[in-house]
Structure 1
Amino acid sequence: MTEQSAKQTQNQYAVPFAIMVFLFFLVGFLTVVNQQFQAPLKEVFDLSNTQSTLLTFTFFAAYPIMGIPAGKLVEKLGYKGTLLVSLVIVTISFALFYTAAEFTSFTIFLIGSFVLGAGMTVLQTVVNPYIIACGPEETASFRMNLGGGMNSLGTVLGPLFVSQVVFGGTGDIQVSDVKIPYLVLIATVIILTLILKTVNLPHIPGTTKEEGSEGSATQYPHLILGVVGIFCYVGAEVAVGANINLFLEQDFGYAKSVAASFASLYWLGLMIGRLSAAGLLKNIGAKGQLTGAATGALALIVGTVILSYYPDLSFNLDLEIGLLGISIHQAISVSCITLILMGLFHSVMWPCIFTLAVKDLGPHTSQGSGLLMLGVAGGAVIPFVQGILADVLGDWQLTWGLVIACELFILFYALKGSQVILPKKK
């Protein structure tokens, strides 16, 4: 590619790239907003740990159901048409949340959570391969990390939105409090949809399967193992992000506001890690980044389990970040710190696994992207099973063994499973 043609390509994808980065923010924000309703709804509806984690379960259960159809939507409607469909689905989910508040129904909240997960599945099937293709292959992980940084900004603001905007920062939680915020979200997504209709999103050649082309994405072992890798990563990330509140409240007796502050710190670590990686690690390949991240996360979660048996090993923490609604002024167990530090190492896992998994898929890229969405079901399974184990065991300490198993597989994928083995031509 000549310098002039490279510059033309860069200019062509400048606006689409900016849109994808914003959509990464939206995905992170809405995913965590949904998770952060667990603790308030548990109190309102008097739920068990298992029942409260159903909100996260139904959200991520949509991914394996919608993953393959989402890939087919891209092939049929193109990237722009599929994006518009995803935003319509998201708007419907918001309307369901409003209805759930109107009728004080946990069942409708669960239905709304599933529909929101379906919209996120379709949305991510587009934004992930599109942002990779918006430039040279050698800087693909950089673009994914930048998008991931905005995704993490959304996850940091999500808990703040729920605690300070939706429920007003008070201890008096009313389910009707969600009505006005969700009306605002409905209006916001409708405006975004109308804007997207006017924007030109160029088709990316060589990333969708043309009629009559041979083969399938399932022929690539590194993609299939990548689906498992995404399952383990999302399961581990969500288990920490969604259940840390319940863990700290039940096992350590921390107040809800303190537990929520730790959740925000975890997501803040993800944001810092992704934005730092976009600048500092851009010369390190996806495989190297993933190996280091998996090793660090594994060491931290093992440390969390061990240290949780020594609650007296603590220190006084005085931390106030008003902008993020973070307020901690008390003795804190060291195991809490090792747990939230996992955010730094989880930060680069999604872009690295995704980049490695779709490498050399060619015309099967959109299909492969849809298949990778199946792995997001880990966010439904791992936290839910962890909640069941917490109810059975009476505490959360040993339940983190699920996360240890996830980190071990991710390390395997980084070292061995991501190796590209091209299918033999007939």
Structure 2
Amino acid sequence: MTSTQEQKKNYLLPIAMMIALFAMISFVTGLQNPMGIIVKNQFGASNFMSQLGNFANFIAYAFMGIPAGLLLQRIGYKKTALLAVAVGFAGVGIQYISGQAESFVVYLTGAFVCGFSMCMLNAVVNPMLNTLGGGGNKGNQLIQVGGSLNSLSATIVPVLVGYLIGNAAQASIKDANPALFIAMGIFALAFIVLFFMEIPEPHMIKEKAAVKDNHSALSFRHFILGAVAIFVYVGVEVGIPNIANLFMTSTPESGGLGIDTTIAGTVVGTYWFLMLIGRLVGASVGAKISSKAMLICAAVLGLIFVTLAMFMPVETKVSMPVFQSDISFGLAEVPIGIMFLVLCGLCTSVMWGGIFNLAVEGLGKYTAAASGFFMVMVCGGGILPLLQGAVADSTTYMTSYWVVFAGLAYMVYYALIGCKNVNKDIPV
């Protein structure tokens, strides 16, 4: 009993640090949303180009997803986490330098380097929290806590950045320095704490074992379709608030609404807050409702919300509750279509878990490799919003949400048909 208590006491600090890193992932990733508005103004960028920072951040997952899993096996949790934190510090530092140099290319480089860090951290924090919690229900509970803090951080980012820099539509990258300094400070603190902590390393490869296997996770059709669903999902999750933010903050002459960026930040922050609520509800009912049923309901409801958003007249305004910088709620007057887009946060909140569970069901020994491949497919969070930005440039902001509609329709197909395991003959 004493040994167990001692172990829990020893791991309390690393558990807290991993949960904090969960928040850092969404903080640094979420920075690309308001930064998109800033670079659009500072460099006269199109909607397409304004999403290149977000694209650079997420496309790094395509390069680093599988190597991150290999790093975990070869050098362990601690060294991988330390490397990820150091890379993250460097990435944010490069974005700071881009403000001094007033260089769009340097900014994109920093966003790309940050993406490497976020991918590595994502590969570390989930299995590490599960291990520190002892696996099972306790490990899952810690991951849910981390995921909730991830959503809370995503809620605060657009609101905090709006508060720190004022009007993002008239700001330059230099004005984002306070937010960048906060990120760099947390990375530095995380590195110091991690360096002096002891962390269990149950999954490091101790010796090489050459065993030929004629099958892999990619031998399963439902996994391949599920990997595509993850690609689409992350693009939908990111594209909805990013393009909505551009729509709200752009001038009426360029097809936007001309809403103050601070107010727009609270509206976007409310989208992420609803994701937090959705994840808490999803975690509480997850044991009673199947992943398939949850994904069907979420995707269909998302389709309804996006359809209403596209066809509702912009002139019809509503006063919707928004999450403000003083951690309270107020009212913001926005077109009713924007409100329906914000409500999509309730739907996107539970999709990752549903898709992941359906895609790895029946994979057995191939599940670990499948998880690494999923990290690669997170790059959809950069590609689909880029495509949506291009559509917005050639048509209108709301027309671009047909890209989101198509993504949600695919997830409905996957939940209804594509998730069926038709490869049960493969030994797992």
TM range (shorter): 0.7 to 0.9
Q: Which residue of 2 aligns with 1:274?
A: 279
For residues 341-364 of structure 1, give each alpha carbon's deviation from its aligned partner in whole angstroms, at most 9, with x where no partner exists: 000111111233234434454554
The answer to whether the Cα contact below 8 Å between 2:19 and 2:149 also exists between their aligned partners in 1 is: yes
**Aligned pair in 2 of structure 1 residues 33, 282: CA closer, same or farther (>3 Å)?**
farther
**The residue matched to 1:200 in structure 2 has which SS?**
coil
**Aligned pair in 2 of structure 1 residues 319, 221: CA closer, same or farther (>3 Å)?**
closer
Alignment partner of 1:69 out of 67, 70, 74: 67
The answer to whether the Cα contact below 8 Å between 1:82 and 1:126 also exists between their aligned partners in 2 is: yes
Q: TM-score, normalised by structure 1?
A: 0.87
What displacement does 1:96 show?
Answer: 0.4
**In structure 2, what residue type is equivalent to 1:349?**
M
**Aligned pair in 2 of structure 1 residues 72, 208: CA closer, same or farther (>3 Å)?**
farther
Alignment partner of 1:51 out of 25, 49, 52: 49
**The residue matched to 1:115 in structure 2 has which SS?**
helix
**Aligned pair in 2 of structure 1 residues 6, 371: CA closer, same or farther (>3 Å)?**
farther
For residues 109-139 of structure 1, give each alpha carbon's deviation from its aligned partner in whole angstroms, at most 9, with x where no partner exists: 0000011011111111222344456555578
Question: Structure 2 stretches of 5 or more lacking a match?
Answer: 250-254
Q: Which residue of 2 aligns with 1:297?
A: 302
Q: Which residue of 2 aligns with 1:406?
A: 407
Q: TM-score, normalised by structure 2?
A: 0.86
**Aligned pair in 2 of structure 1 residues 397, 319: CA closer, same or farther (>3 Å)?**
closer
Q: Which residue of 2 aligns with 1:384?
A: 386
For residues 9-54 of structure 1, give each alpha carbon's deviation from its aligned partner in whole angstroms, at most 9, with x where no partner exists: 9889766554433222111111111222111221122211111111
**In structure 2, what residue type is equivalent to 1:241?**
P
What displacement does 1:236 show?
Answer: 0.3
> Which stretch has the larger CA shift, 133-142 or 230-239?
133-142
Q: Distance in 1 between matches of 2:361 and 2:9?
A: 24
Q: Distance in 2 between matches of 1:106 and 1:53?
A: 12
**The residue matched to 2:408 in structure 1 has which SS?**
helix
What displacement does 1:229 show?
Answer: 1.4
**In structure 2, what residue type is equivalent to 1:321?**
Q
Q: Which residue of 1 aligns with 2:342?
A: 340
For residues 378-414 of structure 1, give each alpha carbon's deviation from its aligned partner in whole angstroms, at most 9, with x where no partner exists: 1111111111111111x11221111111112222333
Q: Which residue of 1 aligns with 2:252?
A: none
**Aligned pair in 2 of structure 1 residues 327, 378: CA closer, same or farther (>3 Å)?**
same
**The residue matched to 1:284 in structure 2 has which SS?**
coil
What displacement does 1:238 show?
Answer: 0.6
Alignment partner of 2:326 out of 306, 323, 328: 323
**Aligned pair in 2 of structure 1 residues 60, 325: CA closer, same or farther (>3 Å)?**
farther
For residues 176-220 of structure 1, give each alpha carbon's deviation from its aligned partner in whole angstroms, at most 9, with x where no partner exists: 223354344323212211211232332345999963244333333
The answer to whether the Cα contact below 8 Å between 2:56 and 2:112 also exists between their aligned partners in 1 is: yes
Q: Which residue of 1 aligns with 2:416?
A: 415
Q: Distance in 2 between matches of 1:282 and 1:226?
A: 21
**The residue matched to 1:97 in structure 2 has which SS?**
helix
4+ runs of 1 displaced by more than 6 Å?
3-14, 138-141, 206-210
Alignment size in residue pairs: 419
**The residue matched to 2:318 in structure 1 has which SS?**
strand
Give the % identical residues.
29
* Residue 313 (str. 1) matches residue 311 (str. 2): no
> Which stretch has the larger CA shift, 406-415 or 113-122?
406-415
What displacement does 1:318 show?
Answer: 7.2
**Aligned pair in 2 of structure 1 residues 229, 304: CA closer, same or farther (>3 Å)?**
same
The answer to whether the Cα contact below 8 Å between 2:73 and 2:204 also exists between their aligned partners in 1 is: no
Q: Distance in 2 between matches of 1:141 and 1:292?
A: 23
The answer to whether the Cα contact below 8 Å between 1:129 and 1:369 also exists between their aligned partners in 2 is: no
Q: Distance in 1 between matches of 2:69 and 2:21?
A: 18
What displacement does 1:149 show?
Answer: 1.2
The answer to whether the Cα contact below 8 Å between 2:318 and 2:335 also exists between their aligned partners in 1 is: yes
> Which stretch has the larger CA shift, 363-372 or 261-270?
363-372
* Residue 261 (str. 1) matches residue 272 (str. 2): no
Q: Distance in 2 between matches of 1:289 and 1:17?
A: 29
The answer to whether the Cα contact below 8 Å between 1:148 and 1:351 also exists between their aligned partners in 2 is: no
Q: Distance in 2 between matches of 1:217 and 1:315?
A: 47
